[in-house]
Amino acid sequence: MAVAPLLSVRGLSVSYGGAALVEGVELDLMMGKTHGLVGESGSGKSVSAMAIMRLLEPKQFRVEAQRITFDGRELPSLGTHEMRRVRGAEISMIFQEPMTALNPVLPVGEQIVETLRVHQKLDRATARKRALEMLEWVRIPAADRRIDEYPHQLSGGMRQRVMIAIAIACQPKLLIADEPTTALDVTIQAQILELLHELQRELGMGILLITHDLGVVAGYADNVSVMYAGRIIESGTTSQIFEHALHPYTQGLLRSHPPVDRDVNELPTIPGTVPQPHERPNGCRFGPRCAHFRQICDRTDPRLMGFEARHRAACIRPKGYLFDGPLEVSDG
């Protein structure tokens, strides 16, 4: 009997002011596994996560989805108060910039205490003891002193650890980590990623890891979805993506990543930039930047096509395959 995904998203679309930011996003995340969501800035990764969490202002954003199921429940159908109980207790999120995500006028320990008191109804003394344990768990040195310090008194790496402590305080089933290593030096990045990996093993939680860096997901993700201009253009296991990338965009991302086994004078780049929502071209959205562009690409807007073992790509001429036109595939 197949195990149901912890999180299943089908047909997620988000628009703002009449412009489509995200279209038809699909992904499955299993309990205890990590799913990497990769793409350049502006591709729609963070907007997708915010839509799943129901953090987008409904008066400004239009969110539609065929299905967003978390742990057997349809998130869009939950009432506001029920969703608030889920958010923070069962689904937590680490935001991109801890200096702006953390409250600058509250000690970091108090911010963990607040989370515990809201979701677990602990008294203040018990919540503070638990907050200290959280800071020690994420390996903040001198946690008994740092618990009363303010965000500006901590380094970038320690602020990120505080964000993780807040996110895991209630031992969630799903952690959404949005660029958790941005603006950190390489050594601290590795420490943060390893910490998340260890916490995942201990708590058994699923992780949706959002990043622009394929190298970040290489050692930590089980599955990868690559986003471009608001759509997922390739998905598969990590080994499929890294060893048999099908979409020219994915191939370009891989080529532009510095190799670890040799020095290079110049890295290949993908020409151009991700188009703005109101400037997306007809046909294939990656066409204007693609080295394999053909006239048919201007006339055809490809959708995800199925290949071996659930490897999918949205390209009419993916590497190793030839098609006369796009093929639609079912979720299976």
* Model confidence band, residue 330 (pLDDT cutoffs 50, 70, 90): very low
Residues 74, 2, single domain; the answer is: yes
Residues 102, 83, single domain; the answer is: no
What 3-state DSSP class applies to 154? coil
* Model confidence band, residue 264 (pLDDT cutoffs 50, 70, 90): low
How far apart are alpha carbons 32 and 84 in whole angstroms? 23
Residues 83, 26, single domain; the answer is: yes
In a domain, 208, yes or no: yes
Residues 85, 119, single domain; the answer is: no
Residues 48, 183, single domain; the answer is: yes
How far apart are alpha carbons 101 and 96 in whole angstroms? 8
Comparing 74-83, 140-149, 170-179, 316-325, which segment has the lowest mean pLDDT? Answer: 316-325
Q: Is the pLDDT of residue 295 over 50?
A: yes
Instruction: Show the tokens assigned to 155.
Output: 């380094």
Residues 184, 255, single domain; the answer is: yes
| CB neighbourhood size of 168 (10 A) | 23
- Give me the mean pLDDT over the 99-119 stretch: 93
Residues 86, 219, single domain; the answer is: yes
- Backbone phi and psi for residue 319, each to the nearest 5 degrees, phi listed first: -55, 125
Residues 35, 143, single domain; the answer is: no
In a domain, 53, yes or no: yes
In a domain, 224, yes or no: yes
Any bridge partners for residue 175, and if so which? 92, 207
Last residue in a domain, options 281, 303, 323: 281
In a domain, 140, yes or no: yes
In a domain, 289, yes or no: no
Q: What is the DSSP letter of 217?
A: H
Residues 82, 110, single domain; the answer is: no
pLDDT tens-digit series, residues 170-222: 999 999 999 988 777 888 888 989 999 999 999 999 999 999 888 889 989 99
Instruction: Extract the runs of DSSP E, i.e. beta strands, from the chain.
Output: 7-16, 19-29, 34-38, 61-64, 67-70, 73-74, 91-94, 174-178, 206-211, 223-228, 231-237, 305-306, 312-313
Read off the pTM. 0.91
- Among 83-87, 145-149, 257-261, name the most confident range: 145-149
Domain hosting 158: range is 98-171
Our count of domains for the chain comes to 2
Residues 64, 8, single domain; the answer is: yes
> Which residue, chain included where needed, has tokens 């799913």?
35
Stated as kind and residue range, the H or E segment containing 168 is helix 156-168
Instruction: Show the tokens assigned to 8.
Output: 């299943």
How far apart are alpha carbons 82 and 309 in whole angstroms? 37
In a domain, 160, yes or no: yes
Domain harbouring 247, CATH code: 3.40.50.300
Residues 8, 156, single domain; the answer is: no
Residues 183, 277, single domain; the answer is: yes
